[in-house]
Structure 1
Amino acid sequence: MTTDIREIISQLESHRLWIETIGEQGEKLGIDEIDLRNVDLSQYPLDQAYITACIFDGMNLNHKDISSSLLSSSTFISSNLEGADFCKSNVSYVDFTNANIKAARLADSECIETMFVKADLSDANLVAGLFDETDFRNAILYNADVRLATFEQVLLQGAKLTGLRGLEEAFIKSINIGTPEHPIILVGEEARQWLQLKSLNNE
């Protein structure tokens, strides 16, 4: 985690050049286990990058393009990601606890064991996402779009699901409305009906 900030900036600039020249110049970003909290990322693209096990906690990354990137095991705890684009990104094992992810785009993303505990995903685009053992406990999913998304062993205890859209077109395999220690698993049509009932609640 002690990597020199100037070295990181140099890599970010090289990545920007790589994107601008469609790979003719510069180099694709590949960083691992870097604390980025002291780096101003506002002017650097983060799409099409390998950014694994990095720390973005508490950062303001609203409307940031982070699409088509590998972000496995990174943390965005309490970050502002409103309107951010994670389309086609791999965010498996990422921690988004308490993050503001309102109106963000997670379409076609891979979310295996991703933590969205207490995160706000109101109006988020989750279309065709893969949610496998994803933790949405106490998350806010008001009006989120889950068309063509796959739900398997997804944790939903305490989640606010009012207005959840596209359930009839989603692949609901199983959900856990209990806890990891004491699971209450609903499968298939029973799981879909539970979600549909919750989506009608005006809580």
Structure 2
Amino acid sequence: MIADMREVIVQLELHRLWIKTIGNQGEKLGIDEIDLRNVDLSHYPLNQAYITDCIFDGMDLNNKDFSASLLCSSTFISANLEEADFCKSNVSYVDFTNANIKAARLADSECIETVFVKANLSEANLVAGLFDEADFRNANLQNVDVSESTFEKVLLKGAKLTGVRGLEEAFIKSINIGTPERPNILIGEEARKWLEVMSN
């Protein structure tokens, strides 16, 4: 664990140079178990980075580019992530509880056991994403695009699903419309039909 925040800033600067020079100078960012809430990240790119088990809770990260990054086990509780880009990122085990992820891009992202409880994902792009045991309970999924995405054992109790698009092209393996303790699993075509009814 890096105790000194100055060292984190140095790493962020090196990563910015690494992105700018397409890897010819600087160094790819790799941080673990860092509380970033007191760091001004507005000037630093966070794409193509390894940022594991870090804390972004309550931060303002609208339009932030996290694409092609490994973000496993980090937390974004109540963070502002409107129009943020998580394309091709691994956000498995990440906690987005109560976050504003409106119109964000999670296309081609990996979301294994990712928590989206009470998150606002309206208008988000989930195209070709992998959602395995992701928790969308009480989340706002209005007008999201799920074309070519995979849903398996996804929790959806209380989720707002009006206007979900791309269901016919999605791979709906199974959904849980109950709770983890008292599951109510719908499989395949039955799951798709339930989603279609809820999205109308």
Relative to the length of structure 1, the TM-score reads 0.98
- Letter of the 1:97 counterpart: T
Structure 1 counterpart of 2:65? 65
> Alignment partner of 1:175: what SS?
strand
Structure 1 counterpart of 2:5? 5
CA distance in 2 between counterparts of 1:33 and 1:60 reads 19
Structure 2 counterpart of 1:55? 55
CA distance in 2 between counterparts of 1:144 and 1:121 reads 7
- Letter of the 2:156 counterpart: L
CA distance in 2 between counterparts of 1:4 and 1:77 reads 24
Structure 2 counterpart of 1:113? 113
Structure 2 counterpart of 1:175? 175
- Letter of the 1:123 counterpart: E
Query: Which structure 1 residue ranges, 4+ long, deviate > 6 Å from structure 2?
Result: none
> Alignment partner of 2:18: what SS?
helix
Aligned CA-pair RMSD: 0.7
> Alignment partner of 1:54: what SS?
coil
Aligned-pair CA distance for 1:3? 1.9
Are 2:2 and 2:8, in contact at CA under 8 Å, matched by a contact in 1? no
Q: Which runs of 5+ in 1 are unaligned?
A: none
CA distance in 2 between counterparts of 1:23 and 1:68 reads 15
Q: Which runs of 5+ in 2 are unaligned?
A: none
CA distance in 1 between counterparts of 2:196 and 2:4 reads 50
Aligned-pair CA distance for 1:2? 6.1
Matches within 5 A, 1:29-108: 29-108=29-108
1:141-160 CA distances to partner (integer Å, 9 max, x unpaired)? 01000000000000000000
Aligned-pair CA distance for 1:17? 0.2
Aligned-pair CA distance for 1:54? 0.1
Count matched residues.
200
Matches within 5 A, 1:183-198: 183-198=183-198
CA distance in 1 between counterparts of 2:59 and 2:51 reads 15
Aligned-pair CA distance for 1:58? 0.1
